[in-house]
Amino acid sequence: MEVERAARPEVSPEPGGRAELAAVLDQLETLSRFDRPDTATQAEQAAEAARGLGDATLELRARLVQADLARRRGDVAGAGRTAQEVQRWATEHGARHLLSRSHFLLAAVLQELGDLSLALEHAVLAVDLLDADGPPAQRIDHLARLADCLGLQGDQGARERYTEVLLLAQELGDVDRQLLVLNNHAYVETVTGRYDAALELSTRLQTLAAAHAVPLHVGRLDTIARALIGLGRLAEAEAALAPGTAREALDASPDGDAGADFLLTLAEVQRRRGSVAAAQQTLDECVRRCDRHGLTSIRVRARREQAELHAAAGDYRAAFAEHKTYCQEALDLQSAQRDARARALQAMHETTEARRQSRRYRELSLRDPLTGLYNRRHVDDEFPRLLDRAAAEGVGVAVALLDLDHFKQVNDRWSHDVGDQVLRAVAALLEATASAAGVAHPGTFAARMGGEEFLLVLVGGDLAAAVRRLEDLRRAVSGHPWTELADGLEVTTSIGVAGTLGPSTPAALLGRADEHLYGAKTRGRDRVVSDLG
């Protein structure tokens, strides 16, 4: 968060001080965007003063400030509940400003919960309902949140919004908000892969900060470095990160991660520049901070970087083991995050709509976010039940494990973005095969097991028919027009297949399929090996 340098607001608890208290709340609402250390205390004092005055509108404004601060500390569900309660009251009493601020908070809550489309709806309403004669800084904040929601969805209109809000901040002479807007815009451009645009914005960010002697915190240095990394300018990226390597700078990270995310970026840059020993030291410090502060998400990503470091040092066995651990922990984390989002939505409102959303997020927790296929959690939940049903009904089941051949080379030669597109294209081919087979035999499904490994479970029919389907799938993968993604790109897959008719266990079937997959790899890849030979 930003550190706002405006004067501390004074709260008047005296009756008759409604105008003074409203002015204080105007300021607190703009300060909450920057999470000043004393803002929470001021908000509590404002709420008490409003209660003393018997002014429900002012009290609810103070509660929204408190809820926004609570959201920043991790209580996303609590902030959402407060915003909805205030919104109901404001709707009944025609309190336009309260409505605008509740939508503003809900946009942030839903953005954190991953529902960007609904967050955008609230962001639009927050802008539309804002009083035209309200504090200019508040209008900047509402428009900036709208731009963030648009940008994270890849909407081209975000750039126009960012330009508009930056001009407003410049007219106001608000350097803090100018820096915030430039940083957020640059970050969104890196997310969408427009690194040239991100670098131009990052340069403006650095120039503005230098002109006003504002030190760039590690979150902004990371944004700058990400733009340079995307352009392959690794030496400049490392130089850009250098000011943030001091312990004091890391500990003061405004993102609540003690600089761990910044260190992960630095380790990647150092590794890619060939400084393996330095990268390992940086990553070790990142991991220590993750463990100290319980930063599970960053810790999982650090495992992927550790695998890359092992490979860079020539220890491919350790790299493979670490990458397997990363894949499993990443899947576990995704499932936990989906469940957490479902619980947060349920806690926000116990309505029919909330229950519908909860079911949707439960379904999302069983899906791989990149490909849309089922994930390992769904396999663990559903596969045993499927085998029991098939055995009871006397129906055969074929299990295929598929692994993309030399997939690491795709990432290394053409980029991880191309690799992700390959995974999505293969997933679509798998889903088409599963859908075609599932018409006659319900229960058939495809899943991503992790990395470049997939699972296809075919219910019904004999093993020979299943192998024919998988041969068709193998040819579809190798014959796909991969060169449309990247010149010279070729993709093939090795497939191991095990079948059963009668009682069996998931471990036994998957174990045999894995053995056959290994056989397909050792026999030259791009082939299907099954129980049939």
Residue 204 within any structural domain of the chain: no
Across 204-213, b (16+ Cβ under 10 Å) vs e yields bbbebbeeee
The values of phi and psi at residue 141, to 5°, are: -60, -45
Asked whether residue 23 is domain-assigned, the answer is yes
Cβ–Cβ under 8 Å, residues 293 and 305: no
Question: Is residue 429 assigned to a domain?
Answer: yes
Best CA proximity match to 531, nearest among 470, 464, 472, 445:
464
**470 within domain boundaries:** yes
Of 134, 151, 183, the position where a domain reaches its end is: 134
Return the half-sphere exposure (C-beta side, CA atoms, 13 A cut-off) of residue 72: 18
Task: Return the pLDDT at 342.
Answer: 66
Which residue has 């130089």 as its token pair?
239
CB atoms under 10 Å from CB of 164, counted, come to: 16
Q: What phi and psi values does residue 445 have, to the nearest 5 degrees?
A: -155, 160
In-domain check, residue 224: no
Q: Supply the range of the domain harboring residue 87.
A: 1-134
What's the rounded Cα separation, in Å, for the pair 129 and 143? 12
334 with 368: CB under 8 angstroms?
Answer: yes
Strand order in the sheet with 445-450: 445-450, 453-459, 397-404, 493-500, 528-530
Domain boundary among 79, 108, 134: 134
In angstroms, the CA 376 to CA 452 distance is: 13
Evaluate whether residue 237 is within a structural domain. no
Q: Is residue 161 part of a domain?
A: no
CB atoms within 10 A of CB 386: 19
If one counts the domains in the chain, the total is 2
Those residues whose C-beta lies under 8 Å from the C-beta of residue 35, and which sit 6 or more positions away, are 1, 2, 69, 72, 254
Domain boundary among 134, 166, 197: 134
CATH number, domain containing residue 41: 1.25.40.10
Residue 44 vs residues 38, 60, 69, 95: alpha-carbon distances, Å: 10, 11, 11, 21
What residues form DSSP beta bridges with 499? Answer: 398
Residues 6+ apart with CB under 8 A from 426: 371, 402, 404, 454, 477, 491, 493
pLDDT, position 441: 72
Question: pTM value?
Answer: 0.60
Dihedral sign for Cα atoms in the order 128, 134, 140, 144:
negative
Here the tokens at position 136 are: 């200019």
- Alpha carbons within 13 angstroms on the beta-carbon side of residue 30 total 22
Q: What is the pLDDT of residue 348?
A: 59
The SS3 of residue 161 is helix
pLDDT confidence of residue 345: 61
Q: How far apart are CA 476 and CA 467, in angstroms?
A: 14
Can you say whether residue 526 is alpha, beta or left, with left for phi > 0 and alpha for psi between -120 and 50 degrees?
A: left
Cross-strand bridge partners of residue 404: 493
Tens-level pLDDT at each residue, the chain (533 residues) = 332 333 344 444 443 478 888 888 888 887 766 656 677 788 888 888 888 888 999 999 999 999 888 887 777 888 888 998 898 898 888 899 999 999 999 999 888 877 788 888 899 999 999 887 788 989 999 999 999 999 988 888 889 999 999 999 999 999 999 999 999 999 999 988 999 999 999 999 999 999 999 999 999 999 999 999 999 999 999 999 999 999 998 988 877 678 999 999 999 999 999 999 999 999 999 999 999 988 888 999 999 999 999 999 999 999 999 999 988 888 887 777 677 666 666 655 544 444 454 455 555 568 888 898 999 888 988 899 899 888 888 889 999 999 999 999 999 999 999 999 999 999 999 999 998 876 567 789 999 998 999 999 999 888 999 999 999 999 999 999 999 999 999 999 999 999 986 678 899 999 999 999 999 999 999 999 999 87
Q: pLDDT tens across 422-455, in order?
A: 999 999 999 999 988 765 677 899 999 989 999 9
CB within 8 Å of 245: residues ≥ 6 apart:
266
Residue 520 sits in a domain whose CATH number is 3.30.70.270
Please state whether 115 falls in left (phi above 0), alpha (psi between -120 and 50) or beta. Answer: beta
Q: Is residue 5 one of the residues assigned to a domain?
A: yes
In the chain, count H helices and then E strands: 23, 5
The DSSP bridge partners found for residue 59 are none
Asked if 38 and 5 count as a contact pair (C-beta separation under 8 A), the reply is no
